[in-house]
């Protein structure tokens, strides 16, 4: 969430539980902050790009990814385990008929492990509220003009579930290696605010 919530009620409750766990020897002092730092350090859009490139190169992986993303991403050495509980990842594929875009209307839930820290526009009130009401208009502002007949599906992330867009493979990319394919994928493409 935006803003400083250091003095909020929930923040005080979390700190209280953390102090209790430390006093009982179940948690080392600063361990929670250390784990958060480790989690954030490994998060980069290159991780999401690797997933997409593998899906483009390997139809079997793409099928597994769409059926059970949490299990499939382990095949490329990634996971959604960033805290005490693994977040559910759902991958949604763009097609000629449907374009997907991701938002978190409540705050800014986002797959940090796969995309790195979220961009400021993703956290903004303007994006969070407008992309649900006028997704085509918002995508146009990002420079993405979709055909009138293309449906737009908006996926609302939550504390338990995260979404990742599997963009359509670009035409003329059949001869590219997996690494070259990954180089085509952007964070905006993984959120759905750009095409690849």
Show the domains of the chain with their CATH numbers: 9-38 (no CATH), 44-191 (3.90.330.10)
Instruction: Give per-residue pLDDT as tens, 114-125.
Output: 998 889 999 999
Q: Choose the catalytic residue: 11, 23, 107, 120.
A: 107
Tell me whether residue 120 is one of the annotated catalytic residues: no
Tell me whether residue 107 is one of the annotated catalytic residues: yes
Report the pLDDT averaged over residues 80-105: 88
Closest CA to 102 of 113, 112, 91: 91
Q: Which residues pair with 81 in a beta bridge?
A: 86
Q: Which residues pair with 86 in a beta bridge?
A: 81
Task: For 92, list phi and psi in degrees, rounded to 5.
Answer: -120, 130
Report the pLDDT averaged over residues 42-58: 94
pLDDT category at 36 given cuts 50, 70, 90 is low
Instruction: Give per-residue pLDDT as tens, 119-173.
Output: 999 999 999 999 999 999 999 999 999 999 999 999 999 988 999 999 999 999 9
């Amino acid at each position: 969430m935006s803003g400083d919530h250091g003095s909020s009620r929930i923040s005080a409750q979390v700190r209280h539980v953390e102090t209790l766990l430390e006093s009982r020897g179940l948690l080392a002092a600063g361990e929670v902050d250390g784990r958060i730092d480790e989690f954030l350090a490994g998060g980069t859009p290159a991780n999401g790009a690797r997933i997409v490139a593998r899906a483009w190169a390997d139809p079997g992986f793409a099928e597994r990814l769409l059926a059970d993303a949490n299990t499939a991403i382990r095949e490329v050495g990634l996971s959604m385990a960033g805290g005490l509980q693994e977040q559910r990842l759902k991958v949604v594929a763009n097609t000629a008929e449907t374009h997907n875009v991701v938002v978190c209307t409540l705050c800014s839930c986002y797959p940090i492990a796969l995309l790195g820290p979220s961009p400021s526009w993703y956290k903004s009130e303007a994006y969070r509220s407008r992309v649900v009401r006028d997704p085509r208009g918002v995508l146009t502002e990002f420079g993405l003009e979709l055909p009138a007949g293309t449906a737009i599906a908006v996926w609302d992330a939550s504390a338990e579930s995260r979404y990742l867009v599997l963009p359509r493979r670009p035409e003329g990319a059949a001869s590219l290696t997996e690494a070259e394919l990954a180089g085509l994928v952007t964070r905006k493409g993984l959120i759905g605010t750009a095409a690849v």
